[in-house]
A and B are shown apart, each in its own frame.
Chain A
């Protein structure tokens, strides 16, 4: 069974600060995704990373896939209250229908 460990579990920061969320595993994943879930809603995909070492940017969010494809990070620059939510990483094997989710990082950005 492939497991994904996310850290930190909870993060409360002031508006304008930077933060990094980590997603680690001992298993290799063919691709890794980051989702954000707001209260009362389902998760929504932010990004998919596929290649080891890949970096993708989505406005103030920067996603990196580790060289060995076992870990990933999400960095947010100048966090805004609208960034508040539960961030989930999820990995899958080649051609797999199954996503393994991490336990999530609950982010609160205080105005």
Chain B
């Protein structure tokens, strides 16, 4: 059984289009994330939701809008795609941090490779 799944795996589109990436986790986690990995492999947090509530919202253009219909799903919608949006987007999930300083394991999906032409 796949723990964290993303669709689509590949997405090729024209500049200016609007696209969505879907993510689902079957681990029973309360927290989900979206990361962007650029061509130099730098992985940067974009958003995080805990129990359907937005808790991390890094400096990301407002063309990116996450939506969490329930705890198991976190989708990413991107409006007016630009060339610089080309990257691999990873969804991840985790248990809530314990509060004792130990970061829980984050389980990553296989990634969505977005290419904007």
List residues of chain B with CB within 8 A of the CB of A98.
Answer: 45, 48, 56
Distance in Å: Cβ of B45 to nearest Cβ of chain A = 6
In the A-B complex, the 9 residue pairs with the smallest Cβ-Cβ separation, listed nearest first, are A42-B108, A30-B101, A92-B103, A94-B101, A95-B99, A101-B43, A31-B103, A45-B105, A104-B41
Q: How many residues of A contact B (CB 8 A)?
A: 28
List residues of chain A with CB within 8 A of the CB of B45.
Answer: 98-100
For A95, the closest partner residue in chain B by CB is: B99
Of residues 49 through 84 on chain A, the ones whose CB sits less than 8 Å from some CB of chain B are 50
Of residues 7 through 65 on chain B, the ones whose CB sits less than 8 Å from some CB of chain A are 31, 40-45, 48, 50, 55-56
Q: How many residues of B contact A (CB 8 A)?
A: 30
Apart from A42-B108, A97-B96, 9 more pairs, CB < 8 Å: A41-B111, A92-B97, A94-B101, A95-B98, A95-B99, A97-B48, A97-B50, A101-B43, A103-B42
Of residues 58 through 107 on chain B, the ones whose CB sits less than 8 Å from some CB of chain A are 90, 92, 94, 96-103, 105-107
- Report if B4 contacts A (CB, 8 A): yes
With known contacts A97-B48, A101-B44, A42–B110 Cβ distance under 8 A: yes
B40–A42 contact, CB under 8 A?
A: no
Distance in Å: Cβ of A72 to nearest Cβ of chain B = 13
A95–B42 contact, CB under 8 A?
A: no
* Alpha-carbon separation in the docked complex, A33 to B107 (Å): 13
A40–B110 contact, CB under 8 A?
A: yes
List residues of chain B with CB within 8 A of the CB of A30.
Answer: 101-103
A97–B31 contact, CB under 8 A?
A: yes
For B50, the closest partner residue in chain A by CB is: A97
A86–B41 contact, CB under 8 A?
A: yes
List residues of chain B with CB within 8 A of the CB of A50.
Answer: 101-102
